[in-house]
Chains A and B, each alone.
Chain A
Amino acid sequence: MTRPEAGPAALASSGRTASGRLNPLTGLVLAGSGAVACLAWASWGTWAAVLAAALVVAAKARILRRVVAAASVVVVPFAVWALVIHGLFFPEGRTVLVVVGPARVTSEGLAYAGAIILRTASLVVVMLAFSLWVRVPTLRAALVRRGVPAQLGYVLASALGLAAAVGERLRRIREAQEARGLVVRKGPGGRILAARLQVVPLVLQLVDEAGERAAALEARGNALPGRRSSYVDEPDSQLQRVLRWTLACVCAVVVASVVVPAVAGVLAGAAR
């Protein structure tokens, strides 16, 4: 229902950030723990604490500015629409603050919008801090070493690389079409025609390349089962391994403590 406007260019440069000595899976577990905390303990204090912690970690990793910029692209439109939908129109609200035409601002609506905005902002900042910090090749190597299908790593790395380059390709196609006389006319018809003249060559080019890449991958034994060797160095330590497992177990217990009673309650209600 919500659609992104953040671009992949920011992520493409994440490979250049210093990931330090932290294992990408440790970062993933830390981000996952933050997300679980936001969802399991529904309170303003938890959301604010997780948001603050994520911003502090991003500042330590020297990616604060990029995290804030990327998160703003997602959170600001979300916050505006949350305030419009729930702040102005909240029929369940009882404490009316202002009435302007059909709009009825209530304190309950504002509180609801605020809670949703803060929780979403916390989740978005935690996850963006991870995705902008992590080096995708290291993450891919770490996942494949632990038995995740190599296909997942290939698709992840290939898509992120392609997403960063496709903007430049679209620009080249547009310039070529303009050289052939493309003029974007006003109105939806003109825009659709211009979009078709750019998108169709892009799709044809990408699909054709995918066919060639498939032949190259096949020739290199991509479809074969078995373990893959990786030359990518993966920083790790005993302390990090202990931290990862501890956090993962704690998260599993927390999730189970919330999910199991909820599901049991629904099942009991259905049985009655």
Chain B
Amino acid sequence: MSHSLTVEAPRRSPLRTTLTALGAVAVVATYAFLIVSQPADVANGPTAASALVALTGFGIAMVLLFAGILPTLPTTTLALIPVALVLNIVLGQFVGSTLVPIYLDSIGTVLVGFLAGSAAGAATGLLSTLVWSFFNPTVLPFAAGAAAIGALAGLAARFGVVRRFYLVPIAGVVTGFVAAAISAPIAVIVFGGTATGATGAVIALFRAAGQNLVQSVTTGAFTSDLPDKLVTFSVAAALAYALPRRSTQRFEFVRRHRVLAGPKQAAAGRPDGEAAPAA
């Protein structure tokens, strides 16, 4: 899409790469703090330190990741992100109102990860959470998990998982494992281990069996997130294949890494933003 009358958008630079890396470090450090500190006080009621550390750490990470990733996204990807956010919200709201223990609230994030790569997927996860928090502020603490889902979807696409459709559910389960591991301590610390719908029922079941709060919430998270991400990845991959080639080949990531199965594109490796000819 670029032409001689416009200046190229800012690309990756050492500063932006450093900011992105620091954002990832902030997520990992915050998570490590939550894991090390959580067992002491969860059942004694909400405390100040853990929740504030979680939200401060993930908040700093969100700012760093935004500053590092957002200005480098090509316009094609940027225009797709609001669509992904709306898909997350619409499908998440629909499934969230049922008693099925899956959410399907990250299909848009995974789709962007497949089409535009890890950085765009992570940014979509963060932005999705930010926009969604305008309707429901309780999703905001889960921003790090949403970013990880988008980043892992991009990574899976980068290594040809979407090209080999039979690997997509496996990538979904691996992502679900990571998402559950990230979200469980946050759910315990910020919301006292309370979840709604089928996940809440699973937690109640394990609490009735005498398990402690952390174990019950972790079990509930894995029970929900593993099948959820399996379905989410499969649906997102099916949607990516259902899109017309002229839509998918707009993305440099798809062309360069031959994300989708099919004949090789002559345009593979073109500079970013330059659209391939419609199939």
Interface residues of A (CB under 8 A from B): 1-8, 10-11, 36, 39-42, 70, 74, 77-78, 80-82, 84-86, 88-92, 102-103, 111-113, 115-116, 119-120, 123-124, 127-128, 131, 149, 151-152, 154-156, 158-160, 162-163, 166-167, 170, 195, 199-200, 203-204, 206-211, 213-215, 217-218, 221-225, 255, 258-259, 261-263, 265-266, 269-270
Please, which residues of chain B bring their CB within 8 A of the CB of A262? Answer: 33, 37, 49-50, 52-53
Check: B160 CB closer than 8 A to any chain A CB: no
B residues 57-98 in Cβ contact with A at 8 Å:
66-67, 70-71, 73-76, 78-83, 85-87, 89-97
Bound-state CA distance A158–B83 (Å) is: 9
Please, which residues of chain A bring their CB within 8 A of the CB of B97? Answer: 5
**Extra pairs beyond A163-B89, A170-B90 (20, CB < 8 Å):** A1-B224, A4-B135, A4-B138, A10-B135, A39-B52, A42-B45, A86-B192, A91-B210, A91-B211, A119-B46, A120-B191, A156-B131, A159-B81, A163-B131, A204-B243, A207-B243, A211-B76, A214-B75, A258-B49, A261-B49
Check: B260 CB closer than 8 A to any chain A CB: no
Please, which residues of chain A bring their CB within 8 A of the CB of B134? Answer: 11, 131, 160
Please, which residues of chain B bring their CB within 8 A of the CB of A170? Answer: 90
| B191 touching A3, Cβ below 8 Å | no
Please, which residues of chain A bring their CB within 8 A of the CB of B82? Answer: 155, 158-159, 162, 210
| B85 touching A155, Cβ below 8 Å | yes
Selected interface stretch from B148-156, B165-173, B198-206: B198-206
Contact for A211 among B48, B79, B183, CB less than 8 A? B79
Please, which residues of chain A bring their CB within 8 A of the CB of B265? Answer: none
Check: B233 CB closer than 8 A to any chain A CB: no
| B131 touching A223, Cβ below 8 Å | no
Bound-state CA distance A255–B135 (Å) is: 25
User: Known contacts being A92-B43, A206-B86, is A85 close to B76, with CB within 8 Å?
Assistant: no
Bound-state CA distance A7–B97 (Å) is: 12
19 A-B contacts (beta carbon < 8 Å)? A1-B142, A1-B184, A1-B186, A3-B139, A4-B89, A8-B89, A40-B52, A42-B46, A70-B135, A85-B195, A102-B208, A124-B138, A149-B67, A149-B71, A155-B127, A200-B242, A213-B79, A225-B7, A269-B36
| B194 touching A86, Cβ below 8 Å | yes
Contact for B192 among A82, A89, A207, A217, CB less than 8 A? A82
Bound-state CA distance A154–B79 (Å) is: 9
Contact for A214 among B95, B211, B250, CB less than 8 A? B250
| A203 touching B242, Cβ below 8 Å | yes
Bound-state CA distance A123–B76 (Å) is: 36
User: Known contacts being A88-B204, A112-B192, A211-B250, is A258 close to B76, with CB within 8 Å?
Assistant: no
Bound-state CA distance A205–B226 (Å) is: 30
| A2 touching B137, Cβ below 8 Å | no
Smallest CB–CB gap between A2 and chain B, Å? 5
Contact for A111 among B45, B137, B193, B243, CB less than 8 A? B45
Smallest CB–CB gap between A222 and chain B, Å? 6
Please, which residues of chain A bring their CB within 8 A of the CB of B135? Answer: 4, 6-8, 10-11, 70, 131
Please, which residues of chain B bring their CB within 8 A of the CB of A270? Answer: 36
Please, which residues of chain A bring their CB within 8 A of the CB of B243? Answer: 203-204, 207
| B93 touching A5, Cβ below 8 Å | yes
Check: B261 CB closer than 8 A to any chain A CB: no
Check: B18 CB closer than 8 A to any chain A CB: no
| B66 touching A78, Cβ below 8 Å | no
Bound-state CA distance A70–B9 (Å) is: 39
Please, which residues of chain B bring their CB within 8 A of the CB of A166? Answer: 86, 90
B residues 162-193 in Cβ contact with A at 8 Å:
183-184, 186-187, 191-193
| A156 touching B217, Cβ below 8 Å | no
| B79 touching A255, Cβ below 8 Å | no
Check: B56 CB closer than 8 A to any chain A CB: yes
Check: B136 CB closer than 8 A to any chain A CB: yes
Smallest CB–CB gap between A71 and chain B, Å? 9
Please, which residues of chain B bring their CB within 8 A of the CB of A111? Answer: 45
